[in-house]
Amino acid sequence: MAISKLNFNSINVTPSANAAIGFDSGADDLETGAGGGSMNFIKKLTASSSSTLSFVDGASSVVLDSTYKEYMFIFNNIHPATNNANFTFNMSIDSGSNYNIDKTTTFFYAYHDEGGSSTALQYRTDYDITGTGFAILSAEVGNANDECSSGYLHLFNPSSTTFVKHFISRASHYQGSDYMIDNNTAGYGNTTSAVDAVQFKMSSGNIDAGTITLYGIS
C-alpha cells in the first residue's frame, strides 16, 4: 500500500457522545463512525474522593454485554488519597452485588529514574493474583500533588458463557523519587458466566481524583 499525504484540514475531529474514530483495515483513510475497529464511547466516570468507580451493565447508560466483543477502559491521572496504594480492579457476574471473580494474573514492571542511574525490569510474583482478590493495574502509586497513574485495561468477550474472561492492562505512573514506572498486567477471570460489571478502587484509601472512560470496540 502506497503512503499518501493526509490533509488534516479536511478532517472533522469534533467529538460527540456516541462518535467514534478508527481505522478501516480495508481502506487507506481515517474512518469515523461505528464499525471498522472503532472506539465507541459508552461512559466516563470522574473520581472525587471516591471509594470505588463501578461500571454496571444497564445502569447509568453503561453497556457491558454482547454488543461488543472487546471493551476498553482508559484511566487518566488516577491520584490516590493514600501514599503508595495500588490501583486495582475486579469483575462481577451479578450486576455488581459482588466483585469476587476468581482470577489468575501475571504482573511485571520496568522502571527508570530521571538521573539514569537506576533501571530494572522485574517480574513481581507478590503482585500476582490467584483467587478472588482485586487485580493490580498500577503498583504503589504515590499521593504527592504531581503523582498519578494513567493507562488502559482491555476486557475481551465479557458476555461469553463459553470461555473464561481474558484481560490485559498497561499503565504508567510517576513516583516522587523521580521514577517512571511501566506496569503490565495480564490474566483471566476463571468463569464461564457473563461478566456484567467492573469495579476499580485503590488497595487502601480513596481515589482522590482522575477519570475512567469506557469504550466498546467494534
Query: pTM to 2 decimals?
Result: 0.83
Averaged confidence pLDDT in the chain: 86
Mean pLDDT of 39-49: 98
Find the CATH number of the domain harbouring 185: 2.60.120
Q: Does the residue 64 lie in any domain?
A: yes
Q: Total structural domains in the chain?
A: 1
Q: Does the residue 23 lie in any domain?
A: no
Whether 216 contacts 55, CB under 8 Å: no
Mean pLDDT of 20-27: 44
d(CA 71, CA 73): 7
Of the candidates 105, 101, 43, 103, which has an alpha carbon nearest to the alpha carbon of residue 68? 43
- Report the DSSP pairing between strands 53-56 and 70-80: unpaired
Give the list of residues 6+ apart from residue 151 with CB closer than 8 angstroms, or none.
74, 75, 137, 138, 169, 170, 171, 172, 183
pLDDT of residue 176: 67
Q: Does the residue 10 lie in any domain?
A: no
Whether 90 contacts 134, CB under 8 Å: yes
For 90, the domain range is 43-217
Whether 126 contacts 117, CB under 8 Å: no
Q: Does the residue 1 lie in any domain?
A: no
Of the candidates 214, 211, 201, which has an alpha carbon nearest to the alpha carbon of residue 75? 211
Among 5-14, 21-30, 154-163, name the most confident range. 154-163
